[in-house]
């Protein structure tokens, strides 16, 4: 079913669904690893790409995976989407396919992404470059060296810095480079980078898309032409999503819009209450009118997301004490689930960075990152207040 002209909630529910002979309203799980053909000619039509069809599950040629990918593409308004076994798998296939001449990473990024870009890809001779969001003037210098891919998150982790997708895309395209946005923090319910000029969207579907902290998966969206070059990388790295996980992820996507809308609303209330709290030095949330990225966020996002960061007054020990006193927020290094989570960047996502590098990136020892779940806002606020008190 092609639902690309329908609203996002409708697409979340109906895009890609295939019904079976028994009238199942949703795509069944095809656990088959291989699929039968009536003749050698029929098999060759699929092998040679003349006809679409199921063939072998590691290739992604499986009805449950096709169905999920059609839904994923529809959510970002993309021509196509590939599903992966994890967010890092999606990034790896993208970097190998389109980043071999050089990758520029702007702003803060997920720890695994930074490690892959800073330590591992250079070992293979792939040049990688890093710029803070405040150093955008330097982008042209790297693009002049022939870097082929610009990669960034927005809002970033953990300072929720907002990067201007349209502006960066325009600059990259002037030099013939492609642009990939990691849209994990925002989710497609709040931001659609392809509509703002990016060439690729990457998701850790482990987070908001999965939404229940019970599956690991990734997604890459873009044009058919650009995704075609990623195909063999996913196939031969063997980083295909399992059909069971694909079905679970499709189940989650049907409620994406209602989940994220509620998370946006609760995060806004929590951010406003925390901004007035005497024990809180600062709140980082794109939905606060005095937040530095607010204007750009307002122009490129439909909602401000469920992630926010606080800076607790005092020192590291005070922040740890507050985190350890929380009872509803669980101490865990992930995000985007129905349950609220808390993590200190200095102990998890940015633990591996040298203290002066953390300081350069504006990441302090008193930062506490919250992933707002679907609990009642009043209960979450009460928990934060007792922990701060």
The set of catalytic residues is 58, 110, 182, 207
What count of residues does the chain have?
A: 389
Query: Binding to ligand PLP by residue 216, rule CB under 6 A?
Result: yes
Distance CA 59, CA 264 (A): 36
CA–chain centroid gap for 200, Å, is: 12
152 interacts with ligand PLP by CB under 6 A: no
The verdict on 206 binding ligand PLP (CB under 6 A) reads yes
CB nearer to ligand PLP: give 62 or 154. Answer: 154
Using rule CB under 6 A, residue 245 touches ligand PLP: no
Residue 86 near ligand PLP by CB under 6 A: yes
* 153 lines the binding site for ligand PLP (CB under 6 A): yes
What is the contact mask toward ligand PLP in residues 353 to 382, using x (rule: CB under 6 A)?
A: ------------------------------
> Which range touches ligand PLP (CB under 6 A), out of 42-50, 82-90, 136-144, 305-313?
82-90
User: Token match 């609203």: residue?
Assistant: 7
| By CB under 6 A, residue 110 contacts ligand PLP | yes
Residues 46, 68, 81, 88: which binds ligand PLP (CB under 6 A)? 88
- The interface region with ligand PLP, picked from 32-40, 107-115, 192-200, 231-239 by CB under 6 A, is 107-115
Angle between helices 377-388 and 256-275 (to 10 degrees): 40
Dihedral angle, C-alpha 110, 158, 185, 150, nearest 10 °: -50
Any contact of residue 233 with ligand PLP (CB under 6 A)?
A: no
Per-residue CA distances from 326 to 69, 216, 263, 281, 340 (Å): 38, 26, 19, 18, 11
> Which residue's CB is nearer to ligand PLP, number 86 or number 366?
86
The values of phi and psi at residue 384, to 5°, are -65, -40
Q: Which of 54, 67, 171, 184 binds ligand PLP (CB under 6 A)?
A: 184
Is 320 in a helix, a strand, or coil?
Answer: helix
Query: Counting contacts by CB under 6 A, is residue 190 touching ligand PLP?
Result: no
Candidate list 3, 69, 164, 182; residue touching ligand PLP; CB under 6 A: 182
Task: Give dist(CA 74, CA 5) in Å, integer.
Answer: 9
DSSP string, 146-166: T--EEEEESSPTTT-----HH
Q: Does 87 bind ligand PLP (CB under 6 A)?
A: yes
* CB-based burial label for 134 (10 Å; 0-12, 13-18, 19+): exposed
For 68, 101, 229, 336, the CA distances from 11, given in Å and listed in that order, are 12, 36, 27, 20
Q: Which is nearer to ligand PLP, 117 or 296 (CB)?
A: 117
- Name the minimum Å distance from CB 254 to ligand PLP: 20
User: Is residue 108 close enough to count as binding ligand PLP by CB under 6 A?
Assistant: no
The smaller minimum CB distance to ligand PLP, of residues 245 and 366, is found at 245
The site for ligand PLP, by CB under 6 A, has a size of: 16
**280-284 and 218-222 beta bridge pairing:** unpaired
Q: Select from 256, 379, 369 the least CA-distant residue to 307.
A: 369
Please tell me whether residue 164 binds ligand PLP under the rule CB under 6 A. no
Instruction: Point out the residue whose Cβ comes nearest to ligand PLP.
Output: 87
Upstream peptide bond of 158 is cis (omega within 30 degrees of 0)? yes
Among 169, 191, 204, 300, contact with ligand PLP (rule: CB under 6 A): 204
Q: Work out whether 94 is an interface residue with ligand PLP (CB under 6 A).
A: no
List interacting residues with ligand PLP (CB under 6 A). Answer: 86-88, 110, 112-113, 153, 157, 182, 184-185, 204, 206-207, 216, 218
């Amino acid at each position: 079913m092609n639902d690309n002209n329908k609203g996002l909630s409708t697409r979340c529910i109906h895009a890609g669904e295939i019904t079976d002979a028994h009238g199942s309203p949703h795509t069944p799980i095809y656990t088959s690893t291989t699929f039968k053909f009536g003749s050698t000619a029929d098999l060759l039509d699929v092998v040679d790409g003349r006809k679409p069809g199921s063939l072998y599950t590691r290739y992604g040629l499986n009805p449950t995976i096709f169905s999920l990918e059609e839904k994923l593409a529809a959510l970002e308004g993309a021509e196509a989407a590939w599903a992966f076994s994890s967010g890092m798998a999606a990034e790896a296939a993208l970097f190998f396919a389109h980043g071999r001449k050089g990758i520029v990473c702007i702003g803060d990024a997920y720890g695994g992404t930074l490690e892959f870009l800073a330590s591992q890809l250079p070992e293979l001779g792939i040049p990688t470059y890093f710029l803070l969001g405040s150093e955008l003037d330097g982008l042209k210098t790297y693009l002049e060296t022939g870097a082929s891919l610009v990669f960034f998150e927005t809002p970033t982790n953990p300072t929720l810095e907002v990067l201007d997708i349209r502006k960066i895309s325009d600059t990259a395209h002037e030099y013939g480079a492609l642009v990939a946005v990691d849209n994990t923090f925002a989710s497609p319910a709040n931001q659609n980078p392809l509509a703002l000029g990016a060439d690729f969207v990457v998701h850790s579907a482990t987070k908001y898309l999965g939404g229940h902290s019970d599956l690991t998966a990734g997604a890459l969206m873009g044009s058919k032409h650009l995704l075609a070059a990623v195909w063999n990388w996913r196939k031969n790295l063997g980083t295909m999503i399992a059909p069971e996980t694909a079905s679970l992820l499709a189940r989650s996507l049907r409620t994406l819009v209602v989940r994220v809308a509620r998370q946006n609303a609760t995060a806004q209330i929590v951010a406003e209450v925390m901004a007035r709290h005497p024990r809180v030095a600062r709140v980082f949330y794109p939905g606060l009118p005095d937040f530095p990225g607010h204007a750009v966020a307002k122009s490129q996002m439909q909602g401000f997301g469920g992630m926010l960061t606080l800076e607790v007054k005092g020192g590291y020990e005070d922040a740890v004490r507050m985190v350890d006193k929380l009872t509803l927020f669980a101490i865990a290094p992930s995000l985007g689930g129905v349950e609220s989570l808390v993590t200190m960047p200095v102990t998890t996502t940015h633990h591996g960075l040298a203290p002066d590098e953390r300081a350069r990136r504006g990441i302090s020892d008193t930062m506490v990152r919250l992933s707002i779940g679907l609990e009642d806002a009043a209960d979450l606020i009460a928990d934060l207040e007792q922990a701060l008190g």
